[in-house]
Structures are given as C-alpha cells and as structure tokens.
C-alpha cells in the first residue's frame, strides 16, 4: 500500500492490482515515470509501461501509469472483473512503434483510450487507434480546424468537436475503440486530486 495513493482515494484492491509500494516509480523499460506530492514526471519514450493481465480481454491505454490508476479508481463500477484488464501507458508522446507492438501483442481485444479531455488528448486517441488498426492517416491543423487525410479522403473537424467517435464515423472504422474522458477535469488524475480536496 502507498500512503499517497490511499490519500487520493485509491482502494487497496486497485493498489494490489498494480503492485504498489511506498515509492511511486513506474518502469518504461529504461526510463521511468515518477509521482510524488510535489511533481509528476512522465517520459517520452518508444517503450511502454505495462500492468494487469497479458491475456486480458480489455486493454486500457493512457499516457501515464498514474492516469491509468486514476481512471480505474474513478470508474471501478464499470469494470467488475479486474482480472480481465491490461493497462498500458505510452508516455508523453505517441510513437508508431508503440501501436505496432500493441497490435502484435494484444490482437482482437477491446480497447479504451484514456487521454486528456483536450485537443491533444483527442488527437492522441485518433493517432493511436489508427496506428493499432494499421490505418495510414495524416493530420494537419489550421484556423481552429483539424484536417485528417486517409489516402485521398479528407475530413475536416472543428477543434471543439473533434473526437475519436467522429473520426471513426467519418472514415467508417470498425470495430470501434472507446475513450474515457473525465467530465469536469482535463485528466482523471486531476479529477481524483480535486475530489480528495473537497
């Protein structure tokens, strides 16, 4: 058990799922994410952080281990079988090699993508989903619009309307990936911290 996670409201069963110790350091194969009260560092690396069951039927992907912990803590009621979950963190930057590895090692799984509730988060959802599905896209941004090309096909999205759902609808992509977005915060970790301060 970790006292900081306990203060954030992370229950014992979730701390056990992630094998939490007193120091919150998460290994990305050579680089580390580190979380404490005063700072949170997340690496930019092609490596991944992994937790949960490798044979899981459902994979939850986020930018950091702490975001994965916050997501499952705030959404525990939606996932009654924790032993059917795998968690992956990609770090601060998406690399196509990460999507390739996920596709090769987690075929035919359900995916929930958990990135920020902002334009960067929505774009990461889209890039990662397209990467896992091995769909070539090009993304450009100008004048509060996102232009996404798939081959010769182009779709325009206003910044405030862009979502993975609209992208999948526009390009007819199935099966669909889901996203997890906090309602009143940028991230689930922000939401968890806010909830404990009330």
Q: What is the CATH number of the domain that holds 42?
A: 3.40.1360
Q: Which residues, 6+ apart, have CB-to-CB distance to 161 below 8 Å?
A: none
Pairing of strands 178-179, 110-114: parallel
Q: What are the tens digits of pLDDT across the range 155-189? A: 999 999 999 999 999 999 888 899 999 988 999 99
Q: Which residues, 6+ apart, have CB-to-CB distance to 139 below 8 Å?
A: 123, 126, 127, 146, 147, 148, 149
Residue 48 located in a structural domain = yes
Residue 117 located in a structural domain = yes
Confidence of residue 194 (pLDDT cuts 50, 70, 90): confident
Residue 58 located in a structural domain = yes
Q: What is the mean pLDDT of residues 24-47?
A: 95
Percentage of residues in the chain having pLDDT higher than 90: 90
Q: Which residues, 6+ apart, have CB-to-CB distance to 68 below 8 Å?
A: 18, 51, 60, 62, 87, 88, 89, 114
Decide if pLDDT at 198 tops 70.
no
- Range of the structural domain that residue 29 is part of: 3-135+174-197
Residue 191 located in a structural domain = yes
Decide if pLDDT at 96 tops 90.
yes
Residue 144 located in a structural domain = no
Q: What is the mean pLDDT of residues 13-38?
A: 94
Q: What is the mean pLDDT of the chain?
A: 94
For 197, the 3-state DSSP assignment is: helix
At residue 176, the pLDDT reads: 83
Residue 105 located in a structural domain = yes
Q: What is the mean pLDDT of residues 83-108?
A: 96
At residue 126, the pLDDT reads: 97
Domain count, the chain: 1
Q: What are the tens digits of pLDDT across the range 115-135? A: 999 999 999 999 999 999 999
Residue 110 located in a structural domain = yes
Q: What is the mean pLDDT of residues 184-196?
A: 91
At residue 175, the pLDDT reads: 81
Residue 56 located in a structural domain = yes
pTM of structure: 0.94
At residue 68, the pLDDT reads: 98
């Amino acid at each position: 058990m970790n006292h900081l996670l306990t203060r954030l409201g992370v229950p014992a069963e979730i701390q056990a799922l992630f094998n939490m110790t007193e120091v919150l350091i998460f290994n990305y194969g050579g680089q580390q994410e580190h979380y404490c009260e005063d700072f949170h560092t997340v690496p930019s690396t092609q490596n991944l952080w992994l937790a949960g069951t490798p044979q899981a039927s459902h994979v939850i992907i986020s930018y950091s281990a702490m975001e994965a912990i916050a997501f499952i803590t705030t959404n525990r009621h939606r996932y009654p079988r924790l032993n059917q979950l795998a968690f992956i963190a990609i770090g601060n930057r998406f690399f196509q090699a990460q999507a390739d590895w996920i596709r090769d090692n987690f075929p035919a799984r359900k995916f929930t993508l958990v990135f920020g509730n902002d334009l960067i988060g929505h774009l990461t959802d889209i890039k990662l989903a397209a990467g896992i599905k091995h769909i070539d896209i090009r993304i450009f941004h100008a004048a509060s619009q996102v232009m996404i090309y798939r081959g010769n096909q182009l779709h325009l999205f206003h910044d405030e309307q862009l979502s993975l759902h609209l992208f999948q609808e526009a390009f007819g992509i199935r099966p669909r990936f889901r996203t997890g977005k906090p309602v009143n915060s940028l991230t689930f970790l922000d939401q968890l911290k806010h909830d404990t301060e009330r």
